[in-house]
Amino acid sequence: MTAPKSEGYNRRRMITPAEFFKGFYDWERQDVVPFRWLSREGELRVRLPETAGPRLLLVVARHAFPGQPAPALEVLVDGGLAGRAQVPGEFRTMLFPFRADGNVTLIFRLDRVYQAPGDNRILGVMVRKAVVLSVEEFDEPEFGAGWYDSEEDNFVSFRWMGLYGDILLPSRRVRSHRYLEMSVFSDFYDSGQVLTVSNRGRILAEWPLIRGWGRYGLELAALREAALEGEDDAPLLELRLNKLHPARHHPGDARELGARLGALEFHDDRARHEAARFFRDNARLNFEEMKAGKTVLSSYPLTLGIDLFGRCNISPPCVYCLWDRMKEMESGHVDDVVDDRTLEGYGPFFRSARSLVNCSFGEPLLHPRLAEVLELAARTNKTVELSTNGQAFTARTIKALVGKPVNLYVSLDAASRETYAKIRNDRWDEIIPLLLRLNEERKKAGGLPRLFMVFIPMRVNAGDLEAYFELARRVDADRLVLRPLLYLGQPEIRRERGGYLFDYEKEMLSREELEVLFQEAGRLSRRLGVPLVSQFDFGKYDEAPVVGGRTP
């Protein structure tokens, strides 16, 4: 295989990858993890910046012959001994301090080698990584053993770990901050997966992981004391899990997967640290109370329904909208103010929420403090779900949305101006350019907001399905969402729009017609590469692992 992509010398992080020369075999993979076999002795070279100060060689390697004595790795830098370490039976991080600059030659030397049956090579240890750090200048955590390559999911970049993972921390960040906050995702519903964080054999934290993404704050006092005493030039965190994600939940992926690690952030905010603890404790209590079937809860819900805005910019309303009925039910509360200040006033209900779902009958992008609401959500690590009719995209609303953790559902339900005129109005040609502009801007901001194109299958638009998939691909939609037309016992809605008589009761497709449409949607999804989600199954959940293999 070809060598893994190297970022080269990174001036901001002061990290330089070493180049492999003689004594190393070609790149191979073990469960998608790249490595090179080292024979008895190997040579590496590295060009270091002309800056004074201590260096740290970080080596990730393992001994792969069970039952055989573990070899000792001796590292020489320009002929001088930098250190010696036993190589363990699983990938681990080893650190070797030294001082040098310019062009440097590294020699790796083993005291024993092995031979595998059917393999005539002389094999020593498997080396995954060898990088040199400028200890006083590198400023971001460095991932050592146990981590897979970075991936993307929804709003975050993350790395999978198996049962263990090592992280090297920059000592100056440890010295200057009180907390390190980790974002961790677990697939276990019942907090039965426990993450232990240690340094030099000292346990710093043990966290029962909540289901989904959670923030876990590590107090850095112990590490800071060690750094101040010179005990650790760059403290190494050792993360350990008590159980793996069951293999049956990731078929086709042969990796040993434990949990996902997202952002690592240093900070000094005690209130933020306590808020993360409060959220985790409430999430665990909420699960236990729901599992026990309690009807009176001490915990708070993890999803908070909010009513942001009670007015709409489409008049008369969409042909299938229950606008008049809903406004009658809201009575005198249509103009009630719900904004960022209101949300903070919800106290523990807001602080406990992982996601905010807008449930209002109205167009949320018209909200005068939309930017402040979304900024609050981003600052407090909450996802916001908004549905829009697409006619409120402006420079202001696009700016407010871009880069924010929003699931934006754009409900057009048509792929042509003719169909659109039959269900809404004649503003079709205004929407698409602004939707394309939103997509261009969100590409520059990590793909946020996430864009979901909503399609409600009805008789009036059934012929637009393929064109709607093509529109979704054109705007790089994250998903196309099929959403049902609500069943009403006595709809009594008949409206004429765009030369078409919309009869609510007759617009609903039969189950047989929907099955045909679902099959066609699946075919279009595969052909055009647009992910498809059906909300016709709303309320069902995917199986997820718990202790004992049961799902609540």
Phi, psi for 412 (deg, rounded to 5):
-105, -40
For residues 371 and 520, state if they share a domain.
yes
* Confidence band for 334, pLDDT divided at 50, 70 and 90: confident
Q: Render pLDDT for 12-53 as a digit per residue (tens, 0 to 9).
A: 446 789 999 999 999 998 877 899 999 999 999 999 887 767
Domain closes at, from 255, 270, 294 = 294
For residues 112 and 175, state if they share a domain.
no
As given in the structure block, the two tokens for residue 21 are 């020369």
For residues 188 and 130, state if they share a domain.
no
* Confidence band for 11, pLDDT divided at 50, 70 and 90: very low
For residues 389 and 405, state if they share a domain.
yes
- Mean pLDDT for 176-200 is 93
Instruction: Using a pLDDT cut of 70, give the percent of the chain over it.
Output: 93
Q: Render pLDDT for 497-511 as a digit per residue (tens, 0 to 9).
A: 999 999 999 999 999
pLDDT at 552: 30
Which range marks the domain in which residue 246 is found?
140-294
In a domain, residue 541? The reply is: no
Q: Render pLDDT for 345-365 as a digit per residue (tens, 0 to 9).
A: 999 999 999 999 999 889 999
In a domain, residue 544? The reply is: no
In a domain, residue 245? The reply is: yes
Instruction: Count Cα atoms within 13 angstroms, Cβ side, for 206.
Output: 5
pLDDT at 545: 62
Stretch (H or E) spanning 520:
helix 511-528
In the block, tokens 């309690």 appear at: 294
As given in the structure block, the two tokens for residue 459 are 């008789």
In the block, tokens 């808020």 appear at: 275
Domain closes at, from 294, 322, 337 = 294
For residues 150 and 275, state if they share a domain.
yes
For residues 277 and 423, state if they share a domain.
no
Give me the helix-helix angle, 511-528 and 465-474, nearest 10°.
Answer: 30
Strand partners, 72: 86
Please check the confidence at residue 548 and state whether its pLDDT lies above 50: no
pLDDT at 544: 56
As given in the structure block, the two tokens for residue 91 are 């990938």
pLDDT at 464: 97
In a domain, residue 429? The reply is: yes
Long-range contacts of 17-24 (CB under 8 A, 24+ apart): 17/46, 17/130, 17/131, 17/132, 18/44, 18/45, 18/46, 18/57, 18/106, 18/130, 18/131, 18/132, 19/44, 19/45, 19/46, 20/44, 20/127, 20/130, 21/45, 23/108, 24/127
Domain closes at, from 137, 169, 195 = 137
As given in the structure block, the two tokens for residue 260 are 């996902």
For residues 284 and 380, state if they share a domain.
no
Please check the confidence at residue 230 and state whether its pLDDT lies above 80: no
* Confidence band for 88, pLDDT divided at 50, 70 and 90: confident
CATH number of the CATH domain containing 96: 2.60.120.260
Please check the confidence at residue 227 and state whether its pLDDT lies above 70: no
- Mean pLDDT for 82-90 is 89
In the block, tokens 């939609």 appear at: 477
pLDDT at 77: 94
For residues 55 and 146, state if they share a domain.
no
CATH number of the CATH domain containing 450: 3.20.20.70
* DSSP one-letter code for 355: E
| DSSP codes of every residue in 312-328 | -S-SSPPTT--HHHHHH
pLDDT at 449: 96
Q: Render pLDDT for 249-303 as a digit per residue (tens, 0 to 9).
A: 888 888 889 999 999 999 999 999 999 999 999 999 999 999 999 999 999 999 9
Helix, strand, coil shares of the chain, percent, nearest 5, are: 25, 30, 40
170 vs 542, which has greater pLDDT? 170
In the block, tokens 């603890």 appear at: 277
Query: Total structural domains in the chain?
Result: 3
CA angle, 348 then 281 then 192, to 5°? 150
Please check the confidence at residue 388 and state whether its pLDDT lies above 50: yes
In a domain, residue 387? The reply is: yes
22 vs 328, which has greater pLDDT? 22
Instruction: Round the average pLDDT of the chain to a whole number and report it.
Output: 89
Please check the confidence at residue 324 and state whether its pLDDT lies above 90: no
In a domain, residue 542? The reply is: no
Instruction: Using a pLDDT cut of 90, give the percent of the chain over it.
Output: 67
Q: Render pLDDT for 131-154 as a digit per residue (tens, 0 to 9).
A: 998 877 778 888 888 888 888 876
390 vs 33, which has greater pLDDT? 390
In a domain, residue 389? The reply is: yes
In a domain, residue 13? The reply is: yes
Q: Render pLDDT for 103-138 as a digit per residue (tens, 0 to 9).
A: 999 999 999 999 999 999 999 999 999 999 887 777
For residues 482 and 495, state if they share a domain.
yes
- Mean pLDDT for 63-82 is 92
For residues 488 and 379, state if they share a domain.
yes
**For the ranges 178-182, 243-247, 531-535, which has the lowest average pLDDT?**
243-247
Please check the confidence at residue 436 and state whether its pLDDT lies above 80: yes
* Confidence band for 224, pLDDT divided at 50, 70 and 90: confident
For residues 289 and 400, state if they share a domain.
no
* Confidence band for 459, pLDDT divided at 50, 70 and 90: very high
CA pair distance 456, 481, nearest whole angstrom: 8
For residues 114 and 144, state if they share a domain.
no
